[in-house]
Amino acid sequence: MKSINNQYNRIWKLSILSFLIAAFTGFIYRVGMLYPLPGSMDLVNIRHAHSHLMFFNWISPPIMVWMASVLAGQKRDLNHKAFKSCLYTMMGLGFLSYPFFLLYGYRSVSLGQANLPIAAIISGLIMITWYWFAWLYYQHRKRKISDFSLNLFDGALTALLISSLGAWGVSVFQFSGIHNPLFSSALTHFFLAVFTEGWALLGVMGIIWNYMNLQPRSIQTGWLWQPLLIGSILIFPFSLTQSLVTPIMLLSAKVGLGLIILSFVLHLYIFLKSKKFTGFVWKTILVLIGLKILFQAVAALPIDLWPAEHGLRILYLHLILLGIVSISMFKIFSFRDHSIVVQIFTVSVVLVIGSLFLISGYSPNRLTPDQPYQIVMYIAFLPVFPAAWILLRKVSKG
């Protein structure tokens, strides 16, 4: 899509830079689990810096870039300047938030006589840029469309706005003086569930459908995004401590899982039937989608497995965000350039996900090495190399 190269190439470069910083921060987190870190660096703060930069500057801007580019194909007078102003502001705030999350997390910082939670304040400003983008998107959105991917983008953007309610709730809750572990944890995981399952995955599905020029024919289009959107809102109880979850919450979470599984099974069925997903990278993406479906199907069964267990939760989030989302974006935004490097990136991501399985608590003893955390630490750095190569090549080309 030429409009992406011409209009948003710099934003894509900044997104890759964000990925590199966040990936290196994830590596430092793994180092800190084994060795003392300098100064007052705290593992919780490092994890916040890693995840928030991924959310703010790596996951969101490329999806928004593609959404704007699809609109440009439908509407020739698209105001690219307005979209770019929004995205540059969003990413600038994302970079600004990083050192505050890294050093202080959500703690307040002394500024003169005031103590302010700077990272939380900047996060709030970033969410305002989400609303700014949504306003621009719906201002330019045509009612009559021929591209089904815009339906997926509509659902994804709706999920992003809904997820922000959970984030705002956490901020308000921090200043309320109320101490309720269920309420606070529920708001946090509501944001995370809707952001990942709704915004990130629906957004990337929209990119894939558009890139592959797919159109649903034998399936009612609503089944491909509405269950995913509704399910993403319902599943957050699975991220809570099991003792805090009531029977009604558990039932709603299982209904949500069922809806998400249904939608992704349909996506995977269409992808396989199209026979367009050839080559190592695309086949890997399809396998990862299949693993995602399997993981959620097993979680819905009445067995002794709880998705909120730390090892499983980390494994699943990396399966989605580093696996399905990141590999898809590197594959599609490369525009057939750097194909070997994208394959190397894909292998490195698969190794990272496999290493996280070793420390998930469900790896068979005979398959688990003596020092799995050291292996995880070294492997965590691997995706940095191919991503850095792609960024350097893009910078050298201008």
pLDDT digits (tens, 9 = 90+) for 56-115: 999 999 999 999 988 887 666 678 899 999 999 999 999 999 999 999 988 888 877 778
**Predicted local distance difference test score (pLDDT) of residue 4:** 56
Supply the pLDDT for residue 322. Answer: 97
Amino acid identity for residue 186 in this structure: A
What token pair was written down for 202? 């629906």
pLDDT in tens, 109-158: 887 777 888 998 999 999 999 999 999 999 888 665 667 899 999 999 99
Report residue 93 as tokens: 């705030």
The set of long-range contacts for 394-397, using a CB threshold of 8 Å and a minimum separation of 24, is 394/9, 394/12, 394/13, 394/16, 395/13
What pLDDT score was predicted for residue 147? 78
What are the tokens at 246? 């009531």
Terminal C-alpha separation, the chain: 18
Question: What pLDDT, on a 0 to 100 scale, did the predictor assign at position 197?
Answer: 96
Distance (Å, rounded) from C-alpha 374 to C-alpha 380? 10
User: Tell me, what's the pLDDT at 26?
Assistant: 96
State the pLDDT at residue 240. Answer: 87
* Regions of the chain with pLDDT less than 70: 1-6, 74-77, 142-146, 171-182, 335-337, 398
Determine the pLDDT at residue 177: 59
Stated pTM of the model: 0.94
Q: How much is the pLDDT for 181? A: 60
Q: What are the tokens at 263?
A: 């939608």
CA dist 302 → 251, 254, 298, 299, 364 (Å)? 11, 10, 9, 8, 21
Q: In this predicted structure, what is the pLDDT of residue 334?
A: 81
- Is residue 115 helix, strand or coil? strand
